Amino acid sequence: MKYKHLFFDLDHTLWDFEKNAEECLQEIFLRFQHHISPSLTFADFFSTFSVVNKALWHQLDLNLITHDYLRTTRFLTAFEKLDIKVSAEASLAMNDTFLELLPTKSHLILGTEDLLENLRGKYQLHIISNGYLPIQTKKMKSGGILHFFDKIVTNDVANARKPDRAIFDFALQVSGASVSDALMIGDNAIADIEGANKAGLKAIHLDETKQAEGAHVIYKLEDLHLHL
């Protein structure tokens, strides 16, 4: 076989962040209605928050902001864009609720369970994530996929974040893998793909939006077998 070790990103690659986040935000929208304008619809709230959150994560990938800044400002920024005044305290309470609820959700990207079941025993499977180990582990337990993975490398464990090559080097070291027998699979062109490539790893870009192109791009998880 070409590879012995497969390293997966978690959020947006195996664990369906968008669907799980939507469920959480529905609960938050109802729980904090007294802080929100009665004219605001959930659809507007969700779409605005999603855009803001994605933009902040992109800035985080580029090391322009800190994780703490993202967590403390994303709800506040979303409501500002909706021209709704929400106190900093309410914003932080929403974020705390979001972080509490999110890891309990179980939706997976289409094809995840079948893929992992098919790969189990053929490859050593690992996670490289910019999340925190307790939260990411809980997400994987909720999704029923924790048992598939050998090493779970997160930014708090490696003391580094993708796309910094240090997290990839750390993952190779703890897993006993080498750049020649390992493959990275992720959805983020900067954090997952560029980061892995800079560390000498080959990488497959999962792009369900079908906007990316190239020999190392797949549009659905089940097509990963074409590169193994």
Are residue 27 and residue 83 in the same domain, yes or no? yes
Are residue 119 and residue 222 in the same domain, yes or no? yes
Are residue 169 and residue 221 in the same domain, yes or no? yes
Are residue 22 and residue 61 in the same domain, yes or no? yes
Range of the structural domain that residue 132 is part of: 5-16+108-227
Are residue 126 and residue 211 in the same domain, yes or no? yes
Are residue 123 and residue 210 in the same domain, yes or no? yes
What pLDDT shows up at residue 1? 64
CATH number for the domain harbouring residue 68: 1.10.150.240
pTM recorded for the entire structure: 0.92
Residue-by-residue DSSP string for the chain? ---SEEEE--BTTTB-HHHHHHHHHHHHHHHTGGGS-TT--HHHHHHHHHHHHHHHHHHHHTTSS-HHHHHHHHHHHHHHHTT----HHHHHHHHHHHHHHGGG---B-TTHHHHHHHHBTTBEEEEEESS-HHHHHHHHHHHT-GGG-SEEEEHHHHT--TTSHHHHHHHHHHHT--GGGEEEEES-IIIIIIHHHHTT-EEEEE-TT----STTEESSGGGGGGG-
Domain count across the chain:
2
Q: Is the C-alpha dihedral spanning 93, 95, 100, 104 positive or negative? A: positive
Are residue 66 and residue 165 in the same domain, yes or no? no
Last residue in a domain, options 61, 86, 104: 104
Are residue 72 and residue 114 in the same domain, yes or no? no
Are residue 119 and residue 145 in the same domain, yes or no? yes
| 48 contacts 81 by C-beta, under 8 angstroms | yes
Q: How many CB atoms lie within 10 A of CB 175?
A: 19
Last residue in a domain, options 71, 104, 137: 104
- Residue whose pair of structure tokens reads 């079941």 in the numeric block: 117
Are residue 94 and residue 179 in the same domain, yes or no? no
What pLDDT shows up at residue 61? 86
Are residue 113 and residue 211 in the same domain, yes or no? yes
Last residue in a domain, options 57, 80, 104: 104
CATH number for the domain harbouring residue 139: 3.40.50.1000
Tokens of 62: 């580029």
Tell me the residue type at 206: L
pLDDT digit of tens for each residue in the chain (228 aa)? 689 999 999 999 999 999 999 999 999 999 998 888 888 999 999 999 999 999 999 999 888 999 899 999 999 999 999 999 999 999 999 999 999 999 999 999 999 999 999 999 999 999 999 999 999 999 999 999 999 999 999 999 999 999 999 999 999 999 999 999 999 999 999 999 999 999 999 999 999 989 998 989 999 999 999 999
Tell me the residue type at 141: K
What pLDDT shows up at residue 36? 84
Are residue 12 and residue 39 in the same domain, yes or no? no
